[in-house]
Amino acid sequence: MPWDPDLLDGYVSTEIALPDAARYPGEPEDVEVVATLVRRDAPSPSRRAVLYVHGWNDYFFQTHLADHWAGLGFDFYALDLRRYGRSARVGHLRGFTTDLGDYDAELDAAAELIRAEHDQLVVMGHSTGGLVTSLWAARRPGVVDALVLNSPWLDLQGSALVRALGAPVIDALGARNPYAVLRAADPGHYARTLHRTLEGEWDYDLDMKLSPGPPIRVGWLRAVLQGQRRVAAGLGIEVPVLTLASTRTSFARRWSEDLRVVDTVLDVEQIAARAVRLGRSVTVVRVEDGMHDLVLSAPAVRQQVLEEMSRFVHGYVPETAA
């Protein structure tokens, strides 16, 4: 695969063709469906690698996370899933799928490419990406050496939208009209805590990580619920899993500075409770003052998050001889 300069300085990326990907109503037939694999453009003799997968309405831009993994001796890769970030195309239903298992295609392709040059592979997933990678790892024993989950969306009731509608309603609507848009008000609090132009610290692309976010379609939410039910039944992941979550959640509709030190997207108690269903070796770490994307929290908090990741890797992913 050819590697071309990426939109991030010091990175390169390559497209993964997905010729068998489903086309949804209204999507142009002449616009290809692809995923995008990104890596640091730095020669490294390491035989260890990490693959990062983003969450809903997101893409990879957290270069300080990549730097940390590089410091641990890992070559860093990130995957922008189909219809997200670098992989989104004009006319696509942003982020939409009716089956989280569809992402197996790009995850398989990325893992095969990375495994060809590395002996160990750690996969890291954030939010919905944490759910997607957990399901995939359970279906692919032997491919992944460890799993690191940053605020993974593991529980049916883990968001305000699901709490408001209820799983039975989402199931029924999703089966009947998967493309219907759910009217979910976005007060913009999360973006306000993040983006540099909105009182945050980070300068990411607002065309790739939208505020307000793209329309939430009931078929996508049904797919998420179906994946979460598989977690609830027990995934049996065979490799060590680290699950990180904040200590507090707030779904407040009115802005306050306290929203900078809580998870405003998911119910962290549900994350912690459901994490033990992932596999037989699960470490759960609660992070005081953590935001939803823990690695974007305040400097001292994200340093703690990175240190917890380091501790986990040193304990559960020892370097092996080539």
Percentage of the chain lying above the pLDDT 90 cut: 77
Which listed CATH number (3.30.830.10, 3.40.50.20, 3.40.50.1820, 1.10.10.10) goes with 4-316?
3.40.50.1820
* Reported confidence tier of residue 252, pLDDT bands at 50, 70, 90: confident
Delimit the domains of the chain by residue range: 4-316
Is the pLDDT confidence value at 80 over 80? yes
**114-to-87, 123, 129, 137 alpha-carbon distances in Å:** 19, 11, 19, 15
**Mean pLDDT score across all residues of the chain:** 92
What pLDDT, on a 0 to 100 scale, did the predictor assign at position 169?
Answer: 74
What pLDDT, on a 0 to 100 scale, did the predictor assign at position 10?
Answer: 95
* Reported confidence tier of residue 256, pLDDT bands at 50, 70, 90: confident
* Reported confidence tier of residue 158, pLDDT bands at 50, 70, 90: low
Query: pLDDT for 212-242, tens place per residue?
Result: 889 989 999 999 999 999 999 999 999 999 9
**Average of per-residue pLDDT across 110-137:** 97
What pLDDT, on a 0 to 100 scale, did the predictor assign at position 248?
Answer: 96
**Average of per-residue pLDDT across 62-87:** 97
Query: pLDDT for 293-322, tens place per residue?
Result: 999 999 999 999 999 999 999 999 988 755
Is the pLDDT confidence value at 47 over 90? yes
12 burial type by CB count under 10 A (0-12 exposed, 13-18 middle, 19+ buried):
middle
Query: pLDDT for 159-195, tens place per residue?
Result: 556 656 667 777 777 778 899 898 777 788 899 999 9
Query: Does residue 281 or residue 31 have the better pLDDT?
Result: 281
What pLDDT, on a 0 to 100 scale, did the predictor assign at position 320?
Answer: 75
Q: pTM for the full model?
A: 0.95
Is the pLDDT confidence value at 43 over 80? no
Is the pLDDT confidence value at 94 over 80? yes
What pLDDT, on a 0 to 100 scale, did the predictor assign at position 161?
Answer: 61
User: What is the distance between the alpha carbons of residues 63 and 15, in angstroms, rounded to a whole number?
Assistant: 20
User: What is the distance between the alpha carbons of residues 181 and 219, in angstroms, rounded to a whole number?
Assistant: 9
DSSP string covering 8-72: STTEEEEEEE-TT----TT--TTS--EEEEEEE------SEEEEEE--TT-----HHHHHHHHHT
Is the pLDDT confidence value at 251 over 60? yes
